[in-house]
A and B are shown apart, each in its own frame.
Chain A
Amino acid sequence: MTTEPILTARGLVKRYGRVTALNSADFDLYPGEILAVIGDNGAGKSSLIKAISGAVTPDDGEILLEGKPVQFKSPMEARAAGIETVYQNLALSPALSIADNMFLGREIRKPGILGSWFRMLDRAAMEKRAREKLTELGLMTIQNIGQAVETLSGGQRQGVAVARAAAFGSRVVIMDEPTAALGVKESRRVLELILDVKRRGLPIVLISHNMPHVFEVADRIHIHRLGRRLTVINPKEYSMSDAVAFMTGAKAPPEAAAIAA
C-alpha cells in the first residue's frame, strides 16, 4: 500500500500506577483495510484501542487522523471525528428500541418549532434511517424497529451495534471482540457484516482472540506484545501458529519490513 495511513499513532505511553500498559506503542491503519490487533492477555491491546477511541487519554505520544494531530478526551470526541467503536459489551440500552439505541446521543429532532422549542424527536426519520442501515447490511427482516433491544438474540444485538457504527462511522470503525460472545452461526454472520462494512469503504480495526476469524478477514495483523507493536504481518504469508508464537514471544518476529506492508 502506498497511500497514507488514515489513522496513525506514534509512541503512545499509558501508565496505571506502576503498570505500564502502553510502552511507546505505534499503530497504523490504512484506508479500506481490515487491520486485526492481536496480543496476549495484558499485552496492552485494550489500552491501545481505548487511546484511539478516546476512552483513555495517553500520557505521551501522538495520534494522527488523516495526518492531522488529534487529542480525544472522551469517546464522544472520537465519534465526532468519525471514529466509531463497537464495544465488547455492545453499549446498548436493553429497554430502549432498536431505533432509539442507534440514535442514542445524536437524536434527530423534528424540523421547525416542534423541534427547536419543544425538542420533539423525529421518530419517523430516525426509524426510517435505522431501517435503511439495517437493510443495507442485510439485517432486515425486522417487522418492528420499535422493539426493545432486550428482546433480540445475541447476534441480532451485535448486528444492531455494528449497524450503528457503520451508520455513523465516517472514517474508522473499531470492533472489540465482536464474535466473542456468539455461537458459530452468529459469528459467521458477524464476520460477513464486517466484510460488508469493509466493502463500503470503511477501514476496520478488529480486536480478537479468535485466530481463525482474524486470519479469515484481516488484511494485515498487528501483533501487540509487552505494551508495544511487535510487528505487523500479512496473514497470507504466515500461519496461525506463527502468529501465536510471535504474540507469546516463543519466536522472534520478522524484520520491520512487514510493517510497511
Chain B
Amino acid sequence: MTDASADARRPQEFEKVLTGADTAVADFDTHTRSTLEKIQHFLHSNPAAVPLIVLVASVLVFGLIIGGKFFSAFSMTLILQQVAITGVIGAAQTLVILTAGIDLSVGAIMVLSSVVMGQFAFRYGLPPSIAILCGFAVGALCGWINGALVAYMKLPPFIVTLGMWQIVLASNFLYSANETIRAQDIETQAPILQFFGNNFRMGNAVFTYGVVAMVLLVAILWYVLNHTAWGRHVYAIGDDPDAAELSGVRVTRMLLSVYVLSGLICALGGWLLIGRIGSVSPTAGQFANIESITAVVIGGISLFGGRGSILGMLFGALIVGVFSLGLRLIGTDPQWTYLLIGVLIISAVAIDQWIRKVAG
C-alpha cells in the first residue's frame, strides 16, 4: 500500500481476476422461471388479479349452488347497490392505506357529513344544494385535521384517526341531538339529498345513481393513481417516504392532500348514505370503517402501503357482497358470512406476504 501512486489508475490486485469474469452485471434478463414463480410475478405486477379471481369464482360457485335466483340481473345489481357505500368509503380508505396510513375515522366523517347536509337544510333552512356543499366542506375539514396531524405533527395515522373517530362521532351526536330527519320530509322538501337513491332499470337490472357514482369514482381514482404524477407520488410515499422526499416528492403536502381528498370522498359517501336509507340518521353507517378496511384488505392492497390497486378494493367489496347475498339466499346463519369473511381477510394478507417475496 505504500506506493499507491504507481497503480492508482489500475484495478486493484484482487480485482484482476475479474477480466475473466462475466461482465454482464447490469443484465436484466432473468433465469427461466418455474410455473409458480411465473404466477408470483404475474400477481406481483397485477395486484387486483387475486380478488378478481376470487370474485368470479365465488359468483360461479354461488350461481351453481343457488341457480337462477342468485344468477340473475336483479341479484347481481342488488349486490352492487349493497356495496355502493362500502365502495365509496373503501376508495377513501384505499388512498390513505396506499400511503402506509390507515383512516379509522372514515365512517364517522361520512355520518357527520350526512347529518350536516340534512340539518343545514332543515334546521337552518339553507337551500339543499348549499347544505350539501357544507357537508362536503365539513368532510374536507375533518380530512384536513387528520392530514395536518399526520403530515406536520408526524403523529401515527392510527392514533390520529382513532382519536378523530371518537371526536367526529361524538360531535355528530351532540350536534344532531340524536335526531333523525324522516325520509318523507326529505322527499317533499329536499329531494336532492336523496339524489343517489334514484334508480334506472335495464331489464331486470336495477342501477341506483349511487352505484353509478361509486363505479365512476373508482374509475376516476384508478386513472389518477396510475396515470398522473400525484398518483405515482401516493405510491412512492407509501413505499418509502424518505426516498420519496429525496427524489423530490413533497411528502407533507402530498399527505395532507390525500387526507383532505379522503374526507371529501367520505362526504360523498354521506350523501350516498342519505340516498340509500332515505332518512338522515346520526346512528347510520356504524360499520363503514370495518367494511372499508375489509374491502381494502381482501382487495389485495397492502396495509404497509405502496402496493395494490383500487380496482382490487372494488373487487374486495363485491366479494363481501356476493358472500352476504349468496349465503342469505342459501338460508344459512348470517354468522357464517362473518366467519368466511374473516377467513378471506387472513388469506388475503397471507397471499400479499407471499407476493411480496418476489423481490430478489
Q: Residues of A with Cβ closer than 8 Å to B?
A: 55, 75-76, 79, 85, 87, 89-96, 100-101, 104-107, 109, 118-121, 123, 138-144, 147-148, 150-152, 155-156, 159, 184-186, 188-189, 212, 215-216, 235-241
Contacts and interface: CB of A to CB of B under 8 A. Distances in A.
B26 A95 contact: no
Contacts of A186: 25
Contacts of A185: 18, 21-22, 25
B232 A121 contact: yes
Contacts, number: 142
5 contacts: A93-B236, A95-B306, A143-B28, A143-B29, A238-B5
Nearest to B248: A105
Contacts of B248: 75-76, 79, 104-106
Contact of A96 (B26, B232, B245): B232
Contacts of B29: 141, 143
Interface in B303-344: 306-307
Contact of A240 (B4, B230, B244): B4
Prevailing SS type, chain A contact patch: loop
Interface residues of B, number: 50
A186 B25 CA distance: 6
Contacts of B307: 95
A138 B247 CA distance: 23
Interface of B: 1-5, 8-12, 14-15, 18, 21-29, 44-45, 223-224, 227-230, 232-233, 235-236, 239-240, 242-250, 306-307, 358-360
A198 to B, nearest CB: 13
A96 B235 contact: yes
Contacts of B14: 184
Nearest to A168: B248
Contacts of B22: 185
Contacts of A241: 1-2, 4
A52 B155 CA distance: 30
A119 B5 contact: no
B28 A144 contact: yes
Given A94-B359, A148-B45, A121 B229 contact: yes
Nearest to A244: B1
Nearest to A144: B28
A184 B18 contact: yes
A100 B3 CA distance: 46
B244 A104 contact: yes
Contacts of B228: 118-121
Contacts of B45: 148
B95 to A, nearest CB: 16
B64 to A, nearest CB: 37
Contacts of A87: 246
Contacts of A105: 233, 247-249
Nearest to B229: A107
Contacts of A215: 4, 8
Nearest to A104: B247
Contacts of B18: 184-185, 188
